[in-house]
Every structure is written in C-alpha cells, then in structure tokens.
Structure 1
Amino acid sequence: MATVKISPAEFPRDREVVAGLFAAYAESLNIDLSFQSFSDELSQLPGKYAAENGGALFLAYATDVASAQVVGCVALRAFAPPVTCELKRLYVVPEARGMGAAQRLMDATFEAARNMGYSEMLLDTLASMTAAQKLYRRCGFKETNKYYNNPIDGTVFMKAVLEDVNLPSESATKISA
C-alpha cells in the first residue's frame, strides 16, 4: 500500500508538475478563474507562492518501495501580512483521494504558516465542494465574511486561527526536503 509524503515544491524543477496540477484543479472546478488572473499565476510560478513573497507550495507524493508519484498540491500566499495568509489550490488527483493526501497537505500548510509567523489563514471554496468543506471544518476552519470580490455565487469563505489548530504528532507531519 502506498504512503503519502509531503515535500516543498522546488523551482524551477517542479514548475511543470505544479502547473499541471493547478490546471487539473482549475478544470475540475468547471468555472472560469480569469477573475483571479489564473493564466498569469500559471505563467509566473512560483510567483505569489514563493517563500520570499511570504508563500509556500507543497507537493504530495504517493510512495511505495519502488517509486513515488505526485498526487496533489497546495499553496499558501501572504494575504494581509504579517498576520494573515490564504490557502490556495488544494488539489488531489481523483485516483489518490481517500489516501490522506489532502489532510497531510493541510498539516504541512498549517505548520509552514505558523513557522512564517502567520496567526490566521483564510480560504474560499465553492458551495458544491462539500467534501473539501468537511475537511476544512475538521481542520479548524469556520465560515467568515467575504474577504475579497469573488463573482462566483455561493462561494464559501472560511478562516482558521492558527493557534486553535491542532496538528497531529510531529512524526505524522514530517515534511521531507
């Protein structure tokens, strides 16, 4: 059985992998992300997710004894530094769902946000993404007021106070370099 490992994305090495996962994420939403300047985001990776810009980007790998395959990603960006960051682009390929990759990506993102000095994390998600909302609530997110102009009807805005988020044991969230 495969296990999931989380690793920071490295640029330029992982650029095409990240761009591919971001594109698959956008396609899975079945909405137009041009209001978020999505094509610019792809062409400028890591861009706002670079460490020097207050961001982070992680990849999830499904590993077995012989190989590792990238199965997911998540990004973090500064929103209202130094206090607030925003979770973006959490995505796990359909064939890897149920392996715990999304939870492990969330754990890595929370740990990185704390280490960067953020105290709260925002996100927005579609009303139709009920499984994602369940994960976010389990991770400590609660619904909050709309924090930016999103034209998609029914968008759910959420916030987590990082000191209230309980991470699993250190060994469970170990991020490989």
Structure 2
Amino acid sequence: MYQLVDIQAQHNADISRVIKQVGAEFGAIGDGFGPGDPEVACMSEHYLLENRSRYIVALVNDQPVGGAGIAPFQPGSDTCELKKLFLLPQYRGLGIGVALTKACLAFAQQQGYQHCYLDTLANMTAAIRLYESVGFTHLTQPIAGSIHGGCDVWMLKTLS
C-alpha cells in the first residue's frame, strides 16, 4: 500500500534522490531537464499553496518512492504545469503514477487553472501512455516559455 502526502521538508533529500535517479535512468541529466532544475534540492520550499502549487509525495512504509507536482507555468497564468512526476522502478505499474497525476490535476482544477502543460522524453513511454489516458494531447512544439529544452514530447490538457 502507498500513501499520498504533501511534501514536507523531511522529504526533500529522498525526493531529490528519486528525481535524479529516475532522470538518469532515462537520460534526463543536466540543463534542459527537470532533474537539473534548482528546485530539486529543496522541493518543499518551492511548492507552496500560496503560489497555487503543490508537490505530492508517494510514500511506501513512510519512505518516499516518487512524487509529482503542479505549479503555474508562468506567474499569473491560467496554465499550470505537471512537474517532476518520477517514480522508482519497483513501484511502477501499481497505479501510483496514475494516482499522483489525478491528485495533481484535481488540485489544478481547484486552483482555477484552465490548462495543464507538461514536457517529457519520448523514451518515457509508460509515462506518455499515462498522460494520454488522463486526457493529455500531444503538441508539435513546446509552449512559449518552456525551460526544458532537452525534452522532445510536449502535451497539454484542457481542464474542465
């Protein structure tokens, strides 16, 4: 069994390790990829409700095994971004990624966002199937302002 909780300071080191480990598994290393973003070192300080953002951690036996977040794509925007959905390999295929994604999208709707954007890598095929299953559609290019130049798949979902 797993539990979904809002990120707390005590999760920072573990979730940073998860993000970097999974990023490396798929070649997402360095500038232009989510695991290289400065926020990864201290996620709890960057995902705050007052900023219309939230990072949700998946715990198994009280240990972080993955997480996902929502944050404004740009300040004041009606578009949010699904960010840093990473899950350790041994916990994939158990519904945790779907639960994280749905919790993030529910939060985005509560916050009044109209659209949710994400960027990812083509080799993250299971993640892409997950995104498609919850209504994300493919874009031909990133939306203006995207900072992850290393990504080669861009998706958008209209929130109702």
Specify if TM > 0.5.
Answer: yes
TM bucket normalised to smaller: 0.7 to 0.9
Moved more, 27-36 or 50-59: 27-36
CA contact (8 A) 2:98 2:130 kept: yes
Moved more, 39-48 or 116-125: 39-48
| Deviation string, structure 1 residues 114-141 (Cα, Å, up to 9, x no partner) | 1111111000111111111111000100
Q: Which residue of 2 aligns with 1:70?
A: 64
Q: Which residue of 2 aligns with 1:118?
A: 113
* Equivalent residue for 1:6, pick from 4, 9, 20: 4
CA contact (8 A) 1:4 1:99 kept: no
CA contact (8 A) 2:11 2:64 kept: no
Q: Which residue of 1 aligns with 2:32?
A: 35
Q: Which runs of 5+ in 1 are unaligned?
A: 164-177
Q: Which residue of 1 aligns with 2:55?
A: 57
* Structure 2 counterpart SS, 1:52: helix
* Structure 1 counterpart SS, 2:82: strand
The separation in 2 between residues aligned to 1:82 and 1:149, in whole angstroms, is 16
| Deviation string, structure 1 residues 103-160 (Cα, Å, up to 9, x no partner) | 000011011111111111000111111111111000100012421264337x010001
Aligned residues: percent identity?
26
The separation in 1 between residues aligned to 2:18 and 2:147, in whole angstroms, is 25
The separation in 2 between residues aligned to 1:92 and 1:42, in whole angstroms, is 14
Q: Does residue 131 in structure 1 map to residue 126 in structure 2? A: yes
Q: How many residues align?
A: 155
Query: Shift of residue 41 of structure 1?
Result: 2.0
Aligned-residue CA RMSD in angstroms?
2.1
Moved more, 128-137 or 72-81: 72-81
Structure of greater Rg:
1
Q: Residues 5 and 17 from structure 1, CA distance in 2 versus in 1: closer, same or farther, beyond 3 angstroms? A: same
Q: Does residue 46 in structure 1 map to residue 44 in structure 2? A: yes
Q: Which residue of 1 aligns with 2:14?
A: 17
Q: Which runs of 5+ in 2 are unaligned?
A: none
The separation in 1 between residues aligned to 2:109 and 2:80, in whole angstroms, is 10
* Structure 2 counterpart SS, 1:19: helix
Query: Shift of residue 79 of structure 1?
Result: 0.7
Q: Residues 70 and 129 from structure 1, CA distance in 2 versus in 1: closer, same or farther, beyond 3 angstroms? A: same
